[in-house]
Amino acid sequence: MSGLVLIEFERTVKTDERRGMVTGGETPLERVGRAVEKRRTELGFGTQRELAERAGVGLNTAALLERGKSFPRPSNRIKFEQALRWPPGTLTALRRGEPVPTGEPGPPMGNAPANMQALQIAKGVAALATVCRQILLGQNNNPQAQAALDELENKVLQLEAVIAASLPHVAGSSFNETVAALAELHAIRNAAAGAEDG
C-alpha cells in the first residue's frame, strides 16, 4: 500500500512541475532564474543590464528571466544561451529539470555582441567592394568589367538593406552602432559610385 502512495506522490510532483507549481521550494522558472544568475556572475557580468546587452535583448526580458517570472521565447533563448556560453537547449532542460546538454556552447560572442561582429564584417566587405570597384574602373570600355561593376553595386546595396532591416531588432548602444555602420556603408557606396561617374 505504501508503494502506491509513493507512486501517486511522484506523479503529483511531476504534474505540479509541468504546471509551474512549487515543488521542493521553487518553481521551474525560479530554478532557471537561479541558474542564469549563477552563470551570469561566473562569466563576470556584474548586472542584468550587462547580460541583456550581451544577449541583445531588453533589460526587462533578462530581469524577468533571472527573477524566475518568465521564460523567453525561442529566439531569445538562443540569444541567452549564446551570451551565457551554454549549449543549445540548456534553458529548456533546466526548466524541465532534465540534465543540461553537454554539447558545445553556441557560437562565441567575443567582446562585442554578435550583431556588432556582423557589422564589422559588413564594413569590411564594403571596403573590399571599394577596392574591387577601383580595379574594375581601370578596365575602360570593357563590357564584362561594367557588368561586374553593376553586380557589385547591387550586392553592396543588398548588404545595406540587410543592415537597415536589422534596426528594429537592436536596442541601446547596439542601435547607435548599427546606425553608424549603416551610414558608413552608405558613404562608402556613394563615394565609390561617385568615383565611377568621375
Query: Long-range contacts made by residues 99-107, C-beta under 8 angstroms, separation at least 24?
Result: 105/81, 106/78, 106/81, 106/82, 107/82
State how many domains the chain has.
2
Residue 23 DSSP class:
B
Question: Is residue 180 included in any domain, yes or no?
Answer: yes
CATH number at residue 186: 1.20.58
Same domain, 125 and 153: yes
Mean of pLDDT values over 170-185? 72
Same domain, 12 and 91: yes
pLDDT in tens, 8-44: 434 444 444 444 444 568 899 999 999 999 999 888 8
Domain that holds residue 23: 2-96
Mean of pLDDT values over 72-91? 90
CATH number at residue 21: 1.10.260.40
Report residue 78: phi and psi, to 5°. Answer: -60, -45
- Residue spans of alpha helices (H) in the chain: 2-19, 28-42, 48-55, 59-66, 74-83, 90-96, 114-137, 143-166, 172-197
pLDDT in tens, 125-143: 777 777 787 787 788 788 8
The pLDDT of residue 109 is 44
pLDDT in tens, 104-128: 665 544 434 556 667 677 777 777 7
Report residue 23: phi and psi, to 5°. Answer: -140, 130
- Grid cell, residue 93, equals 532542460
Mean of pLDDT values over 76-91? 90
Q: Give the other-Cβ count within 10 Å of 23's Cβ.
A: 17
Which of 69, 96, 123 is the last residue before a domain boundary? Answer: 96
The pLDDT of residue 182 is 78
The pLDDT of residue 64 is 96
Q: What is the pTM of this model?
A: 0.46
The pLDDT of residue 196 is 56
Question: Is residue 83 included in any domain, yes or no?
Answer: yes
* SS3 of residue 26 by DSSP: strand
Is residue 102 predicted with pLDDT exceeding 90?
Answer: no
Mean of pLDDT values over 155-183? 73
